[in-house]
Structure formats: C-alpha cells, structure tokens
C-alpha cells in the first residue's frame, strides 16, 4: 500500500492533479488532501487504501519505482566551470521541484568549499574505503551534498590496485538512487580513477566546455573513455549534452570558436543554453552560495535556470 509520504511527494510532482477531484474519486471527505499537503493532517490507512487505485491510474507506481538520473559533470581540464555548473544546475533543478544530490568526487574539494563545507569529518572517502553509507549534508530542502576534501586522495591508490575498485562508488551510490530525482557528480579535472568511477555509476555525462582554441583537445580521449565504459561496465551511459560556459556573446572570437567546436564535435548533443560570463557567479562561490541565492536577477541565474529547464524537459517530458 502507498504511504502518506509517497502520496505527498507524488502530488508535489503533479501540481496539475486536482486535490478536490482526487478526493471525490476516492470518496474522501472534502479538504482531506489539501490538509495533508499543507501539513495539517496525516493520511490514515483508510484514506490510503481508497487513494491507491486512483493514484495508480495517474502513475504513482512509476513514481515509486523511479531511479535518479545520475549526471557526471566532466571535462579533461580544470577552470572550465564544472563545479560552478554542478552547483547552479543542481539548484536550478530544485527550483523546478526536483530533489537533487550533489557529490564531490574531486579531492580538491572545490564543490564542498564553494558551498561552505570545509574539512568535513564524514565524507566520500569513508564510503569508498570503509564501506560506510554516503554521508549526506542538507543544504536546503531537496538540495543535499556528499562532501570531500584533500583526504579523498588517499583512496586513489587503493581503488587503482583493487580489481573491483572502480565499482565501489557505484555500489555506494545504489541505496540513494530511489531517494532523489537527480544526482550530479562534480568530477576532477582529469580522466583519473575518480572520473572513471563516476562514469561507471552514471546515467550520462554532462560535458562543460569553454570557447577556446584548445576546447576540443582531450575531448576525444573523454569520448573514447565513455565508449570503453559503455562497452565494459555501463551500457546505458550516454552524453547528456555539451554546454558552452564562460561565453562572451559580444566577442566575435567566441562566436567563431563555438561554431568551430560544434563542427569538430558534429554528431554530439549540445545544449541550446550557453552560460555567459558573469562576475556574480564567481562572487557567489566565494561567499559559499549558489547564484540563485546570491543574485537571482543576474545573467548567471538566468542561464543556469535555462540549462536546468532543458534537463528537466528532456527527462520529465
């Protein structure tokens, strides 16, 4: 039988469903669901038994059995905006009613530090080396983080020398797949064991590129790695899309470089959204906030919400 919590979460995801209409179909007293959604009452077993066959018609079974979309945010180099994209795409998804978990799988810990988490006692390291549960820090409602710092580097040699090392992250992540709508993994600026592990565990890779002459260099290595992982470990792995970041649309050079990148990577999916250069984005990370909390009227907030809307449209259409 469905639970009160499942009904609550399902109806939050389905705002177009009429609570009064559902009450009527299930034979419940007027206002029952409205009060439940407002936290004024808990649905009883009698309520839930009456609601279950009605909600099944509207897709609650698929909702109960859902698995998170897991996106590895990747690039072969640093400074292109992976961490920035992980933070702000995540919050943009939350703004659209999605539950999001961010995971810092980079031993530099930039994602954690940018969200105000420094020197975490419990972090990803323990999940990879001690078979511990993923330590989850709540940032906001439906916006959580698994932190890391330099200590994570201690796990690298152990994962490399262990035959099953590349599978540890996937196994640690498995219990969380039915708890979130999206899981975003901030990967290191290299194609090392941590990036490999993230791709093995992911639904797709989201690639962040800058409009520069060397943007495509290394992309072929990444695409080859994704192909190898698809063949050996994770047949569902695809490219979610390539997003161009730190773009100055006024520069002819940037427009020419982006056009060249699209030609060089013809056949790969590109997001329509481009993330424009915006000083507020860098400032927001310095103070440990996402761009929506720091400056919601900025172009950075506009662009990252647009990117999140593209992702939502693709997966929840």
Bridge-based pairing of strands 143-146 and 137-140 is: antiparallel
Name the residue among 109, 195, 204, 189 with its Cα closest to residue 160. Answer: 195
Please count the other Cβ atoms lying within 10 Å of the Cβ belonging to residue 44: 11
Q: Indicate the SS3 state at residue 159.
A: helix
The pLDDT of residue 194 is 96
Name the residue among 80, 112, 114 with its Cα closest to residue 243. Answer: 80
Q: Indicate the SS3 state at residue 70.
A: strand
CA distance 44 to 293: 38
CA distance 274 to 272: 6
Q: DSSP character for 73?
A: E
Q: DSSP character for 174?
A: G
The pLDDT of residue 317 is 61
List of the chain residues with pLDDT < 50:
none
CA distance 116 to 215: 30
Map out the domains of the chain as residue ranges.
4-64, 69-316
Q: Which residues pair with 242 in a beta bridge?
A: 207, 270
- 69-316 CATH, one of 3.40.50.300, 3.40.50.2300, 3.50.50.60, 1.10.510.10: 3.40.50.300
């Amino acid at each position: 039988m469905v639970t009160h919590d499942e009904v609550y979460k399902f109806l939050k995801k389905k705002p177009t469903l009429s609570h009064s209409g559902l009450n009527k179909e299930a034979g419940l007293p007027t206002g029952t669901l409205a009060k439940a959604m407002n936290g004024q009452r808990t649905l009883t077993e009698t309520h839930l038994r009456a609601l279950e066959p009605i909600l099944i018609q509207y897709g609650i079974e698929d909702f109960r059995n859902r698995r998170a979309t897991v996106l590895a945010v990747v690039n072969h180099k640093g400074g292109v905006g992976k961490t920035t994209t992980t933070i702000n795409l995540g919050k943009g998804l939350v703004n659209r009613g999605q539950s999001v978990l961010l995971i810092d799988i980079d031993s530099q810990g930039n994602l954690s530090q940018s969200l105000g988490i420094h020197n975490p006692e419990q972090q990803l390291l323990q999940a990879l080396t001690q078979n511990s549960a993923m330590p989850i820090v709540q940032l906001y409602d439906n916006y959580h983080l698994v932190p890391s710092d330099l200590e994570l580097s201690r796990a690298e040699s152990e994962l490399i020398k262990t035959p099953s090392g590349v599978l540890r992250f996937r196994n640690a992540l498995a219990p969380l797949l039915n708890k979130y709508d999206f899981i975003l993994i901030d990967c290191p600026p290299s194609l090392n064991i941590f990036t490999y592990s993230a791709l093995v565990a992911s639904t797709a890779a989201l690639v962040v590129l800058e409009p520069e002459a060397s943007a495509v260099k290394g992309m072929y290595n990444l695409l080859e790695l994704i192909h190898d992982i698809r063949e050996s470990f994770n047949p569902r792995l695809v490219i979610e899309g390539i997003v161009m970041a730190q773009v100055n649309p006024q520069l002819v050079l940037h427009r020419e470089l982006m056009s060249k990148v699209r030609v060089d990577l013809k056949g790969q999916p590109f997001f329509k959204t481009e993330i424009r250069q915006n000083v507020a984005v860098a400032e927001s990370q310095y103070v440990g906030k996402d761009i929506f909390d720091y400056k919601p009227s900025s172009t950075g907030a506009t662009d990252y919400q647009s990117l999140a809307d593209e992702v939502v449209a693709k997966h929840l259409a």
